[in-house]
Amino acid sequence: MVCPMLAMCATFLCAAVSFAQPPLQKITILLRFEHPESAVSRQIMQTEIQSLLGRSVSVRFGTEIGALDLTVGRLVAFRMRGYCSMNRPVDDRRPGLALGSTFVSDGSVLPFGEVECDRIRASIQRVSHVNLPEGQRQLGQAMGRVIVHELYHMLSGSSIHTKEGLTKRGLSSFELIANTARLPRNSADAMEITGTLPCSRREPATCTLGALSAEHKP
């Protein structure tokens, strides 16, 4: 009698734990590159985005909506402006320019944004002087962090920035390529991301809404 009872309790416990798991949020991100991008940077960018959003979010990437056999969950799109590769010269090195932006219309946040690859590259090169492979990795990490910032606006529908973390108004050059990055808890809550909040660690009108800029300090 004891063994069947234990088995029954174990089954009930497993069912309860399974029931308590939060639903998996699904996001499809469409990327439109103006110029051929670095395959390494793109892969690192995708890994950084998934790492920052955590296991409770399933992210799918595509370049054209027609190439996806099925679009699942929330659909957002980014135009990747400029050259998303570190093997190109950087022409504009002015600090403080927008690294990314999200669009709004009639007060509603749209699921469309832009990422300024040339400005991200310029911001990185102000503080980092590494070989090309490492530079491509840093670029991918930085692009991922900029996209997560804009995803916060899109999924939360908010133009408010936090005082710290990836969703503050501006990110310094060092913050774009730092060994660790974190999405603030209140930002994750606003995006309805449940579960344990991850930390990305390296061993990350039509008008623009809360454009993410590069801070003047490095």
Architecture of domain 24-214: 3-Layer(aba) Sandwich (3.40)
- Per-domain boundaries in the chain: 24-214
- Measured CA to CA, the distance from residue 185 to residue 21 in angstroms comes to 19
- Measured CA to CA, the distance from residue 188 to residue 206 in angstroms comes to 26
CA angle 152, 100, 91 (to 5 degrees): 160
- 162 touches 168 (CB < 8 A): yes
Tally the C-alpha atoms within 13 A of residue 185's C-alpha that lie toward its C-beta: 2
- 187 touches 84 (CB < 8 A): no
pLDDT per residue of the chain (218 residues) written in tens, 0 to 9? 445 544 444 444 344 444 445 568 899 999 999 999 999 999 999 999 999 999 889 999 988 766 555 566 889 999 999 999 999 888 766 767 899 999 999 888 999 999 999 999 999 999 998 999 999 999 999 999 999 999 999 999 988 899 999 999 999 999 999 999 988 888 888 888 754 444 454 433 333 444 566 554 43
Q: What is the pTM assigned to this prediction?
A: 0.80
